[in-house]
Each structure stands twice: as C-alpha cells, then as structure tokens.
Amino acid sequence: MLRKGLFIITCSIETDGYILANYLQSHPDILCHLEIYNLNGAGRFSGVYGERIKNEPGYEKALAEYMDKYPIPFLYKIVFDAQKQSAVGFIFKYQELLLPQFAITRNAIKRDRDIKIIHLRRRNLLRLYLLQNLNTCTINNLESLIYEPVYLDPISCVEYFSQMERMQIYISKFFSDHQVYNVDYEDIISDHGENVLSKIQEFIDVPIRKLSITLKKQYLYDLNLKQVIANFNELQSYFKDTPYEQFLKED
C-alpha cells in the first residue's frame, strides 16, 4: 500500500535547498527539516525535535547517537515522524547522501519507493562555482552584500561543471525507481515561482496553498557576474561556442 507524504529534497551543497525547504515549511500540512544527516551529527530539525534541541542540553547528541546506532528506526520513527502533518521531508545533499556512514540510510531510501524525490538543481553551474570562491565581502546595508571580485580559473571551472553534471546524472539514476520531480532553483525564484511551488505541492500530495518565505533569497542571484568575476572577459572568450557560454549571458 502506497504511503503518502514522504519526501526528500536532494541537491548539491552549493544549491540553496534552504529556500525551497523554507517555502514548504510555510504550508500548514508540511513538516520540512533541513540537513538531518551531516558531518556534525543529527541536527537541523523542524517541529518538536528542533524545539527539544534548542531547549534540552544534550538532546542533539542523543539523537546523533541514536542515528548512528539505529539508522533505520531513526529514519522512520524520528525523521519521518510527520507530527500530525500530512507530509514530511528533509534535505539530503548529494555530498552527504553518498558518505559511507550514511550507506544504510541511503540504501533504505533507495529501496523505499514510497519516498518521493524532489531533485533540486541549478542551470547556471558557473554561479555555483562562483559561490565556492566568494569568501570576502563587506556589508553595504541590511539588504545587500558587496563581494570582492575573484579570479576563476577556466580549466577549474570546466572540471567543476563536469563534476556537477556527472553527479546530477548519477543521482537521477540512483533514484530512477522513485517518483522524481526535477526542479531548477532559478525557476523557484523566478516570476513564475508560485506556479512551480504549486506543482511541487501537487507532487507531494498536499492541498495547494500560496507559500511564503522568511529567508532572504541568496544574494548570489542579485550579483552582476561582470562585476564579481575579475576575469569575466577571459571566461567569455574561453567558453565561446561551447555549451558553457550560456552561463555568462544571464546578466
């Protein structure tokens, strides 16, 4: 019998899954955690477990120990505890999903075809790579950040693009037996984002509502690449007449 309402959001570390999770969490029938599985132990819960982590010293450590010792009960009794909601899910990023310590959980999710997969991607891989390299910035005001221009090595860019493309293909194959909804981050934050969010709600079987967000959208998509990439013209020439040329045309 099909169990409704179980989902995960899978994406790269650089892709801002928080935006989508924050939107979904605003739905009265959805409980959406952030990264439960990470190198720092069990955390980033929403709902009652998140409140207990805030208010009970040692509770997060106890959850992490339970996760390590009993990964399957942890997944189904804790993570997928819907807490009176009709849908429950969490973010499981590529790089953490594939870690050896989460192999039991990863394989359990792969076997359980009732778990729906929201595959969150970004079309512009250059902006993802740029995000990795933007370390220094000054705060101009509460609404904007000013980043120092950075040099991006063209060969390193191509290596990153190829790595991300391979990873997206691998994840698609890994979850090929599941119901999968592929969505691009650019579409969520676009003018037609409300329609995209409606389709995601339909996918996870909840009534369609107008969703809201409490987070500010990443400043990265407000940046002008010509101003932030010190060797923008070099990259433009290097990628001319290649599939990656489009990454520099969005401004």
pLDDT at residue 139 in the model: 45
Q: Which CATH number is 6-248 given? A: 3.40.50
Domain coordinates in residue numbering, the chain: 6-248
Higher pLDDT, 206 or 224: 206
**What is the Cα 164 distance to its own chain's centre?**
14
CB-CB neighbours of 126 under 10 Å: 22
pLDDT at residue 146 in the model: 67
Is the pLDDT assigned to residue 117 strictly greater than 90? yes
CB-CB neighbours of 93 under 10 Å: 20
Its pTM surpasses 0.75: yes
**What is the Cα 204 distance to its own chain's centre?**
17
- Give the tens place of pLDDT for each residue, 145-159: 667 889 999 999 999
DSSP-assigned letter for residue 3: P
- Give the tens place of pLDDT for each residue, 66-108: 999 999 999 999 999 999 999 999 999 998 999 999 999 999 9
Is the pLDDT assigned to residue 57 strictly greater than 50? yes
